[in-house]
């Protein structure tokens, strides 16, 4: 839609560039009304008030997008790629706030994503709003942003999206929010032009306070206290500032602590906030950013009120429990990590250092996210981001969506434009994104062809990384061309799996199959050793990549198995290899080994993270850098799909044909879990002993049970099965 559809004749207004934050206000009069609707965009982040009352508990709006065209640079020169652009309008029913007579609408604005120095910003802070007032006769009048908006600098004096805020209350009070306030000395905001973009509404849930935690004191000194909020998560510490005008109060967060209960310096990640006290006591916390920490250092005399856990307002619609402590920890840690990385409408890589919607991390984890979290509306938005961030000239898909200059690769990153819509179709039964983005998928394939040598995907755009796998525990050894060409084949397979819903002509299907064979032959010719049976020397589970796309022989599989049966009783793989290896073992009859790897407490394992006290998944098996990265949690989908057996028939989408098919793992133990599918909730409880397996299955519709050589029809409701 156009700006006028939402805002009528309202003008965009801008504010002095020197303002680190902005307070903006407009006074207006209203007669008796029956309805009032506010449409607003406050860039970068905004918080709105009418007559002194907070309009909404939503946080960090508007949602992060490719807001409009901007001049971008890579390491050298002007960036030539052409993206698509859109911006989200926030709308609220504000009838309850409007009164007859004098009113005021007020906004606080911070840099957010739009004006952040964290990346190449879009511009300075801006605001547009329109209140549509409807009277009893149905007549609509509007209160619009224009040259009558006044402004002053806010109390946030320094701001960094990824680090924290400095808030100065020395000469501040909240009286500016009420109608009686005298703002005659404030500056006038400047009406301004705004670049062309698409104005849109979205039902993607915003960030909100999702939980309130009372932190525990774990260390007391004369000058400070160390607090533990119980787990690594995202949000803001709320403190009580004393009436000590001019005093600076500093709080610092860290993901980890030392054995002496001090903050671990390497895990602070520059998470710090400063508050300069004013003449009155007040509660204070950050307004336009969040911290990603578990432990906090606070001056000894400062009262800590609470910790507000903040992330996207979505629900966990799954559960998993087991007497296997590592698997139980893995599920819990993944959920905690993923929620901590859902902010401003994007799935981030980490919630502190970068906060970017990496297409690699995001496509890798999306299967597990869709399996465990009510995320459909969230992905409605992020798939559009991926679409926007494809170059309309070359077909290149960025490493992040929305775009922030970042590393990645042409395969495991850019292929999100195929894989995320495919997983969306698989989980929700809705092919609309596959259909809508199919022309762009073909352009992406064109980009891969143009960046191939010898039918192997060999490069990304100039001056950018061309990664294959990432975050291996030791140096990355698996060849990037091998990995990126593997992904090209996988994406062709996903297109072919949707050929009917895409209504592909027979000739187009034939061309895809021919292309697949050419790519597979190139991989085999370049990387396969017929003497050993290995692909790329089976480094970091290269054989698993080959087997997953139907290449290799029985020897290829046996060689792969031997590595983990005899040498590595833990993962030696990166973010993609871990997922692929685990899946291949489950689907090729070695679920027992996949189970052992998932349950391992060895050198590079989930159990090792658990034993070190982790409550989130780490970026690296070794523990360096971020301790909140969800990408390795892609394997959580397999707890449900192969251990509990909750899946669907191969030709099914949206769980239309429910299948309960646990892997024959030859194990003992108890496992219980549920997921929510379009038809309702599927729940499985399984207990394995040496002599039998007992299943209790709850279904929203009829389905099939398959285990070993047994197949049983299931009915909606409760089903109990014992296999001797």
- Report the pLDDT value the prediction gives residue 73, as an integer from 0 to 100: 66
pLDDT(119) > 80: no
pLDDT in tens, 504-528: 999 999 999 999 999 999 999 999 9
What's the distance, Cα to Cα, between the start and end of the chain in Å? Answer: 62
172-191: average pLDDT: 95
Q: Convert the pLDDT of each residue in 224-258 to its tens digit.
A: 999 999 999 999 999 999 999 999 999 999 999 99
Supply the pLDDT for residue 77: 54
For residue 132, give the nearest of 109, 106, 102, 105 by alpha carbon. 105
pLDDT at 79 over 80: no
Mean pLDDT score of the chain = 96
Percentage of residues in the chain having pLDDT higher than 90? 94
**In this structure, CATH architecture of domain 3-155+169-204:** Sandwich (2.60)
Q: What CATH architecture is 658-723?
A: Sandwich (2.60)
pLDDT in tens, 601-654: 999 999 999 999 999 999 999 999 999 999 999 999 999 999 999 999 999 999
Q: How far is CA 403 from the centre of its chain?
A: 14
Mean pLDDT of 532-556: 98
What pLDDT does residue 70 have?
87
Helix axis angle for 432-450 and 376-388, nearest 10°, is 40
pLDDT of 74 over the 70 cut? no
Q: What 3-state DSSP class applies to 407? A: coil
Please calculate the CA angle 570-575-577 and round it to the nearest 5 degrees: 65
Band of the pLDDT at 566, cuts 50, 70, 90?
confident
DSSP state letter for 709 = T
| Per-residue model confidence (pLDDT) at position 85 | 97
717: left (phi over 0), alpha (psi -120 to 50) or beta: left
**pLDDT at position 80, please?**
74
Rounded to whole angstroms, the Cα distance separating 292 from 310 reads: 10
> In 138-205, which ranges are E strands?
140-144, 150-153, 156-160, 164-168, 187-188, 190-192, 198-200
Alpha helix locations (H) across 66-153?
Answer: none
Provide mean pLDDT across the span 404-408: 89
Mean pLDDT over 673-688 rounds to 97
Rounded to the nearest 10 degrees, the angle between the axes of helix 480-497 and helix 432-450 is 150
Residue 465 has pLDDT above 90, yes or no: no
CATH number of 208-312: 2.60.120.260
* pLDDT mean over 323-351: 98
CA–CA distance, 488 with 449 (Å, rounded to integer): 10
Q: At what angle do helices 591-599 and 575-587 cross, to 10 degrees?
A: 140
Pair 484, 466: CB distance under 8 Å = yes
User: What was the pLDDT predicted at 78?
Assistant: 59
Question: When comparing pLDDT for 534 and 666, which is higher?
Answer: 534
The per-residue pLDDT for 76 is 46
Share of the chain above pLDDT 70, in %: 99
CA distances from 148 to 25, 314, 354 (A): 9, 38, 38
What are the residue ranges spanned by the domains of the chain?
3-155+169-204, 208-312, 319-643, 658-723
Mean pLDDT of the 447-471 span: 93
Per CATH, which fold does 319-643 belong to?
Answer: Glycosyltransferase (1.50.10)
pLDDT in tens, 189-227: 999 999 999 999 989 999 999 999 999 999 999 999 999
- Torsion over CA of 151, 152, 154 and 155, rounded to 10 degrees? -150
Indicate if the pLDDT at residue 686 is higher than 60. Answer: yes
Query: What is the per-residue pLDDT for 103?
Result: 97
A 10 A CB-CB count for 137 gives 6
Q: How many helices (H) and strands (E) does the chain have?
A: 14, 39
Whether 72 shows a pLDDT value over 80: the answer reads no
């Amino acid at each position: 839609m156009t700006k006028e559809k939402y805002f009528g004749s309202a003008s965009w207004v801008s504010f002095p560039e020197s303002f680190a934050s902005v307070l903006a206000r407009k006074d207006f009069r209203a007669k008796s009304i029956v309805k009032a609707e506010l449409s607003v965009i406050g860039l970068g982040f905004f918080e709105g008030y009418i007559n002194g009352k907070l309009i909404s508990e939503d946080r960090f709006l508007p949602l992060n997008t490719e807001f409009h065209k901007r001049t971008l640079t890579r390491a050298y020169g002007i960036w030539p790629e052409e993206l698509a652009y859109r911006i989200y309008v926030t709308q609220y029913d504000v009838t309850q706030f409007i009164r007859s007579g004098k009113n005021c609408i007020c906004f606080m604005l911070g840099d957010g994503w739009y004006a952040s120095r964290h990346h190449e910003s879009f511009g300075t802070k801006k605001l547009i709003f329109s209140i549509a007032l409807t009277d009893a006769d149905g007549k609509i009048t509007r209160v619009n942003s224009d040259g009558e908006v006044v402004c002053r600098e806010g109390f946030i004096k320094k701001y960094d999206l990824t680090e924290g805020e400095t808030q100065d209350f020395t000469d501040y009070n909240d009286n500016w929010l009420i109608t009686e306030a005298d703002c005659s000395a404030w500056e006038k905001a400047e009406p301004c032009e705004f670049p062309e973009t698409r104005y849109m509404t979205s039902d993607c849930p915003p960030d909100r306070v999702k939980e309130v935690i009372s932190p525990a004191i774990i260390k007391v000194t004369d000058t400070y206290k160390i607090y533990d909020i119980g787990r690594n998560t995202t949000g803001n510490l709320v403190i009580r500032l004393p009436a000590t005008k001019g005093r600076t109060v500093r709080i610092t967060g860290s993901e980890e602590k030392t054995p002496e209960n001090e903050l671990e310096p390497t895990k602070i990640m520059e998470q710090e906030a400063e508050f300069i006290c004013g003449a009155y006591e007040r509660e204070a916390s950050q307004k336009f950013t969040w911290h990603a920490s578990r432990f906090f250092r606070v001056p000894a005399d400062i009262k800590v009120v609470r910790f507000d856990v903040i992330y996207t307002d979505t629900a966990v619609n799954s559960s998993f429990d087991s007497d296997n402590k590592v698997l139980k920890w893995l599920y819990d840690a993944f959920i905690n990590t993923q929620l901590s990385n859902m902010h401003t409408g994007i799935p981030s890589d980490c919630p502190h250092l970068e906060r970017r919607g990496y297409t690699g991390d995001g496509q890798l984890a999306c299967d597990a996210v869709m399996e465990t979290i009510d995320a459909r509306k969230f992905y409605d938005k992020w798939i559009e981001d991926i679409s926007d961030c494809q170059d309309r000239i070359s077909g290149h898909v960025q490493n992040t969506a929305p775009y922030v200059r970042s590393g990645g690769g042409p395969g495991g990153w850019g292929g999100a434009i195929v894989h995320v819509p495919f997983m969306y179709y698989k989980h929700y039964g809705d092919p609309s994104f596959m259909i809508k983005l199919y022309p762009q998928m073909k352009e992406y394939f064109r980009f891969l062809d143009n960046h191939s040598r010898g039918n192997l995907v060999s490069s990304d755009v100039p001056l950018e990384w061309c990664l294959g796998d990432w975050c291996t525990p030791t140096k990355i050894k698996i060849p990037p061309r091998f990995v990126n060409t593997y992904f090209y084949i996988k994406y062709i397979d996903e297109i072919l799996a949707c050929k009917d819903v895409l209504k592909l002509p027979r000739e187009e299907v034939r061309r895809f199959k021919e292309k697949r064979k050419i790519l597979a032959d190139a991989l085999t010719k370049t990387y396969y050793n017929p003497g050993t049976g290995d692909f790329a020397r089976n480094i970091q589970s290269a054989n698993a990549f080959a087997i997953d796309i139907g290449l290799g022989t029985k020897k290829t599989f046996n060689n792969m198995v031997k590595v983990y049966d005899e040498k590595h009783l833990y993962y030696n793989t990166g973010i993609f290899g871990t997922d692929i290896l685990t899946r291949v073992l489950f689907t090729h009859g070695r679920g027992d080994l996949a189970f052992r790897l998932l349950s391992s407490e060895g050198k590079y394992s989930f159990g090792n993270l658990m034993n070190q006290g982790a409550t989130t998944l780490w970026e690296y098996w070794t523990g360096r850098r971020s301790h909140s990265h969800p990408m390795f949690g892609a394997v959580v989908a397999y707890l449900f799909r192969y251990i509990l057996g909750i899946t669907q028939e191969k030709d099914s989408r949206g769980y239309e044909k429910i299948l309960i098919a646990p892997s024959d793992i030859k194990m003992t133990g108890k496992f219980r879990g549920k997921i929510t599918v379009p038809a309702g909730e599927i729940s499985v409880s399984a207990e394995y002993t040496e002599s039998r397996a007992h299943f209790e299955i709850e279904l929203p519709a009829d389905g099939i049970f398959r285990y070993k050589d047994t197949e049983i029809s299931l009915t909606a409701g409760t089903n109990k099965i014992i296999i001797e």
